[in-house]
Amino acid sequence: MDVVPRELTPQQLADLQILGRQLLNQLGLRHYLSQHAPAKHTLQQRLEQEKLIVEITQHIHQSLDLDEILQTVVSGVRRFLQTDRVFIYRFEPDWSGIIVVESVAPDWSSVLGRKIKDSFFGEAVGRSLYEQGRIQETADIYTSGLSACHVDLLSRLQVRANLVVPIVQETKLWGLLVANHCAAPRQWQPFEIDLLNQLAAQVAIAIQQSQLYKQTRHQAQREQALNRVIQTIRNSLDLSTIFSTAVYEITELLQADRASISQYLPEEGIWRKMAIYCNKPESLDDLGLVIPDANNPVAEQLKQLNVVRVDDAQELKDPVNQKLAAQYPGAWLMLPLHSGSSSLNPPKVWGTVCLIKNQPSFTWQDSDVELLRAIADQLAIAIQQSELYQQVQTELNERKRAEQTIREQAALLDVSTDAILVSNLDHRILFWNKGAERLYGWTAEEAIGKNVNLLLYREPLNQLPDIQKALTHRGEWQGELNKITKLGKPVVVESRWTLVRDETNQPKSILSVDTDITEKKQLELQFFRTQRIESLGTLAGGIAHDLNNVLTPILAIAQLLQFKFSDLDERSKQLLQTLETNAKRAAALVKQVLSFARGVEGKHTVLQIKHLIAEVRQIAKETFPKSIDVQTNAARNLATVRGDVTQLHQVLMNLCVNARDAMPDGGVLEITAENLTVDDHYARMHLDAHVGDYVVIAVSDSGMGIAPAIVDRIFDPFFTTKEVGQGTGLGLSTVSGIVKSHGGFIVVNSQMGQGTQFKVYLPAVQTTEPVLPEELELPKGRGEWVLVVDDEASIREVSKASLEAFSYQVLTASDGIEAIALYAQYREKIDLVLVDMMMPTMDGPITIRTLQKMCPDIKIIAVSGLVAFEQTALTNDTGVQAFLSKPYTSRDLLRTVHRVLNPDGVSHASTSH
């Protein structure tokens, strides 16, 4: 048979030591008696003393009845000492005292219940002596030097010899254990004093044990009463049933004489009693009693949601409450009942719960108020539930489906969508509901008996010590936890843990309620990242505007110099062409950044992918580590596709960047393109594929590969395996979105340690549109007047130079106000106005509207580096004839100006000047 070790409490160890010592004493004494007969009488007394102590100690630990224990003590002591009277004296709050228990011989008078006040104990100094263990032994009251008043007191109690031992409860004097010898003087023996001293200590333990028991029992009774009210509220929506239960419970628990609940009816100006309970059947039945609200100070306090305590109702002075005090004398305790408890619906008084104790000058304790407040709070919930129920009932009655709908709603309330599980203190699962099955994937049969920490957590739960500490101190814990499902999928839950105790208040199990907030957390993360991207978009817009203002004069001057100086040597022409090409590339980069950041949709044109691959290859070779070998291969007869070159450039760059990141130690990055005809069989294998011709772009790397467990999630928004700060999780999601918007699809193949290949399928287009050679001749003006309005001086100057070089007359203005002034002065001459949309003082749109008021037929070209202004200028019926996007070349400027001035298409071209 296995013996399970048991850890003893300090109190149990102390008791065992006492019993052991007493047993050894008895064994030793019996041996001694057998050897020394003359000392038999004294030693026999010693044995009886130890036996008495053992009996009383055992009785204390076996009984919670303090009166019975105290009676056992005094009876045993008197019997052992063979004295005339033994009693226990308990101090009152004013340090008088009362004899609460006694054992007295038949020939002497009883002092039980007698109240005695000794001025000695009224002083703190005197009490402190006894609190420190003072023992008073008096062999003869007449010869021991006692004060006259003390001798008089003892003689009236028939005392001749007196032995007093203090009973100290937690360093405070609780009472006295007193032995009286009345017949004659008596010399108290040391073992007798020691006996009383030991028993006084045991009495102190019994008192403490009794007090704790009473407190626990009283608290349990209060909690049980509160729980019965709560259970009634949960089980019923009928206020009369709930109120009846409440008034009964609080009357019985607080030992009041009467309890009632009244409702405040402001429209009628009254308070009407809705429920009553009286502990005496013959008491007045006042259900339905109406109490006036006007000129009622007590009602005013309740309407302000204040607690009203009245120690004696007869002291109330107003007529309303004087009349009530005559009917209901004694002490009143009233708490307001409220409805509404939110910022939109602040609390307001609904009524009151009232307790009456027919005892004048009775003081209500704070614990009474707290219990009544707890019940009042529950009644407020019941009132709110009842009001809501009545509203629902009204709606359902209008639809004539009241009863059926209520049953359906009740059934729905019984079905919890949360995962509810119960585990024992060893973390073994005891209960597992359907919600847990749905959330985590394990059935109840699979989960019950398993260790919850091993079942639901990928790694040991670091928060467990803090959770256990909270459960120990507060009995509950709430917070977010990361768990896993049966399939290994991570989930985030809002978890509420509650420590469940047994009937002895010992921890028994842990109840957990988990709410799945995975999607909520993902949405929060997406929201924060979207905010960050929107901020980047705003920043990109501002940067793009400034860069376009810088690039416009560079680009225009590069072209203008080529037009003006046709006799330059080839090297100079090449340098100017390089300047123009790189300025255009910079402008395209700005447009690409702005398009991505602002989500502006580009224009779809027919394009050749091999040119795009060549451009991406050049960027990769210049910016990627030299340890990465970039290779490209495109079919010679590669078909064209229709798409946005900026977006497709972004697709290739994102795939190449991912390939670079997968090869931190270097490797091979290969970009290929080929034609593919998708037949019906292939189309059935890929949901997004259609029968027809495709151009397939493959981006391959020799990197680490993608784990099979996550390959299906790589296109999810914000999903990333990179560390914080090294990726947004938007790259492949953006790639997928762009490819789908072009009518294509993506296929990914990957092997761990061998590399990854992304194949982008784009529909091929057959086009016979010839590639038009760039028009070499530029249109020439005929002396028309053009007003150029821009806050950038360099743009004004280069635009003026370009226009004047082609026979235009040019005026310039640095802002809208100056432009309006110039137009007012030269309105008969000015044929066209170029207006920048973003200017200080007066911006472009206001300038345009002002000029149109001055001349409704005025011809205007809007200029901006932001695409959004193009949509505004050309779609909002602004009267703008054309939009010129910054940065623009001299060729763009001249052609746009010519087109607006010559809508009939008549051209006056020139190739040199």
Per-residue confidence band for 722, with pLDDT thresholds at 50, 70 and 90: low
| Nearest to 161, CA basis, from 136, 189, 182 | 182
Cα-trace Rg, the chain: 49
Which is more confident, 3 or 780? Answer: 780
Q: Which residue has the tokens 């006042």?
A: 286
Q: How far is the C-alpha of 790 from the C-alpha of 168, rounded, in Å?
A: 97
Residues 6+ apart with CB under 8 A from 859: 831, 832, 833, 881, 900, 901
Q: How far is the C-alpha of 758 from the C-alpha of 700, rounded, in Å?
A: 6
166 strand-pairing partners: 176
pLDDT digits (tens, 9 = 90+) for 343-379: 566 778 899 999 998 887 788 888 888 888 888 888 8
Q: Estimate the crossing angle of helix 402-413 against helix 366-399, to 10 degrees.
A: 130
Q: What is the pLDDT of residue 798?
A: 85
Segments of 441-506 assigned E as strands: 476-484, 490-501
How many other C-beta atoms can be found within 10 angstroms of the C-beta atom of residue 868? 13
Q: How far is the C-alpha of 576 from the C-alpha of 562, rounded, in Å?
A: 7
Q: How far is the C-alpha of 846 from the C-alpha of 498, rounded, in Å?
A: 65
Identify the H or E element spanning 444: helix 444-447
| One domain, residues 786 and 737 | no
Count of domains for the chain: 5
Query: Which CATH number covers residue 703?
Result: 3.30.565.10
The 3-state DSSP class for residue 271 equals: strand
Say yes or no to pLDDT of 550 above 90.
no
pTM of the model: 0.34
Mean pLDDT score, 498-511: 90
The 3-state DSSP class for residue 385 equals: helix
Query: Which CATH number covers residue 847?
Result: 3.40.50.2300
42 strand-pairing partners: none
| One domain, residues 391 and 462 | no
Token output for 374: 């707890």
Q: How far is the C-alpha of 780 from the C-alpha of 569, rounded, in Å?
A: 25
Q: Which long-range contacts (CB under 8 A, 24 or more apart) does 563-568 make?
A: 563/778, 563/805, 563/890, 563/912, 563/913, 564/805, 564/913, 566/912
Mean pLDDT score, 845-856: 91
| One domain, residues 169 and 120 | yes
- What residues make up the domain containing 260? 236-396
pLDDT digits (tens, 9 = 90+) for 641-671: 999 887 888 889 889 998 998 898 999 999 9
The 3-state DSSP class for residue 477 equals: strand
Per-residue confidence band for 724, with pLDDT thresholds at 50, 70 and 90: very low
End residue of a domain, out of 483, 516, 549: 516
Burial 881-912 (b: 16+ CB within 10 A, else e): bbbbbbbbbbbbbbbbbbebbeeeeeeeeeee
| One domain, residues 786 and 735 | no
Residues 6+ apart with CB under 8 A from 280: 257
3-state DSSP helix/strand/coil % of the chain, to nearest 5: 45, 25, 30
| One domain, residues 208 and 251 | no
pLDDT digits (tens, 9 = 90+) for 489-498: 999 999 999 9
Say yes or no to pLDDT of 626 above 70.
yes
| One domain, residues 761 and 784 | no
**In this structure, is residue 500 part of a structural domain?**
yes
Which is more confident, 565 or 746? Answer: 746
Among 361-370, 441-450, 591-600, whose mean pLDDT is lowest? 591-600
| One domain, residues 70 and 201 | yes
End residue of a domain, out of 731, 765, 799: 765
Q: Which residue has the tokens 């030097």?
A: 145
Q: Are strands 419-424 and 507-516 parallel, antiparallel or unpaired?
A: antiparallel
Q: Which long-range contacts (CB under 8 A, 24 or more apart) does 324-329 make?
A: 324/291, 327/284, 327/286, 328/258, 328/356, 329/358, 329/360
Segments of 222-317 assigned E as strands: 258-265, 270-278, 290-292, 308-310
**Contact yes or no for 321/313 (Cβ under 8 A):** yes
**In this structure, is residue 680 part of a structural domain?**
yes
| Nearest to 11, CA basis, from 80, 60, 55 | 60
In the chain, what is the straight-line distance between the N-terminal and C-terminal CA atoms, in Å?
117
End residue of a domain, out of 723, 738, 765: 765
Angle at the Cα of 283 from the Cα atoms of 291 and 218, rounded to 5 degrees:
95
Token output for 460: 């040991």
Say yes or no to pLDDT of 413 above 50.
no
| One domain, residues 757 and 791 | no
**Contact yes or no for 489/466 (Cβ under 8 A):** no
pLDDT digits (tens, 9 = 90+) for 47-57: 666 677 777 77
Per-residue confidence band for 637, with pLDDT thresholds at 50, 70 and 90: very high
Identify the H or E element spanning 748: strand 745-751
Per-residue confidence band for 69, with pLDDT thresholds at 50, 70 and 90: confident
Per-residue confidence band for 708, with pLDDT thresholds at 50, 70 and 90: confident
Per-residue confidence band for 452, with pLDDT thresholds at 50, 70 and 90: very high
Say yes or no to pLDDT of 773 above 70.
no
Q: Which residue type, as a one-letter code, is found at position 912?
A: S
pLDDT digits (tens, 9 = 90+) for 274-305: 888 888 766 667 788 888 988 899 989 888 88
- Largest Cα–Cα separation, the chain: 153
Token output for 539: 């920043």
Q: What is the pLDDT of residue 13?
A: 58
| One domain, residues 348 and 486 | no
Cα–Cα distances (Å) from 453 to 355, 459, 498, 660, 823, in that order, read 50, 9, 17, 39, 80
Percent of the chain past pLDDT 90, that is, above it, reads 26
Q: How far is the C-alpha of 633 from the C-alpha of 617, rounded, in Å?
A: 10
**In this structure, is residue 528 part of a structural domain?**
no
Q: What is the pLDDT of residue 675?
A: 93
**Contact yes or no for 740/618 (Cβ under 8 A):** no
Q: How far is the C-alpha of 57 from the C-alpha of 709, rounded, in Å?
A: 69
- Tally the residues of the chain: 913
| One domain, residues 608 and 748 | yes
| One domain, residues 101 and 241 | no
Q: Are strands 172-181 and 85-91 parallel, antiparallel or unpaired?
A: antiparallel
Q: Note the helical H segments in 508-608.
A: 518-564, 570-598
Q: What is the pLDDT of residue 124?
A: 81
Q: How far is the C-alpha of 236 from the C-alpha of 222, rounded, in Å?
A: 21
**Contact yes or no for 100/70 (Cβ under 8 A):** yes
**In this structure, is residue 137 part of a structural domain?**
yes
Burial 741-750 (b: 16+ CB within 10 A, else e): ebbbbbeeeb
Q: How far is the C-alpha of 454 from the C-alpha of 486, rounded, in Å?
A: 12
The 3-state DSSP class for residue 21 equals: helix
Q: How far is the C-alpha of 102 from the C-alpha of 109, rounded, in Å?
A: 11
| One domain, residues 434 and 375 | no
Query: Which CATH number covers residue 138?
Result: 3.30.450.40
Query: Which CATH number covers residue 430?
Result: 3.30.450.20
659 strand-pairing partners: none
Percent of the chain past pLDDT 70, that is, above it, reads 81
Summary mean pLDDT of the chain? 81
**In this structure, is residue 295 part of a structural domain?**
yes
Q: How far is the C-alpha of 45 from the C-alpha of 524, rounded, in Å?
A: 82
**In this structure, is residue 412 part of a structural domain?**
no
How many other C-beta atoms can be found within 10 angstroms of the C-beta atom of residue 601? 11
DSSP per-residue codes, 143-195: TS---HHHHHHHHHTT-SEEEEEEEEETTEEEEEEEEEE-SS-----HHHHHH
Residues 6+ apart with CB under 8 A from 29: 43, 46, 47
**Contact yes or no for 763/743 (Cβ under 8 A):** yes
Per-residue confidence band for 529, with pLDDT thresholds at 50, 70 and 90: low
Q: How far is the C-alpha of 859 from the C-alpha of 173, rounded, in Å?
A: 106
Q: Are strands 755-765 and 692-701 parallel, antiparallel or unpaired?
A: antiparallel
3-state SS, one letter per residue, for 81-146: HCCCEEEEEEECCCCCEEEEEEEECCCCCCCCCCEECCHHHHCHHHHHHHHCCCCEEECCCCCCCC
**In this structure, is residue 44 part of a structural domain?**
no
Q: Are strands 331-339 and 308-310 parallel, antiparallel or unpaired?
A: antiparallel
Per-residue confidence band for 774, with pLDDT thresholds at 50, 70 and 90: very low
**In this structure, is residue 15 part of a structural domain?**
no
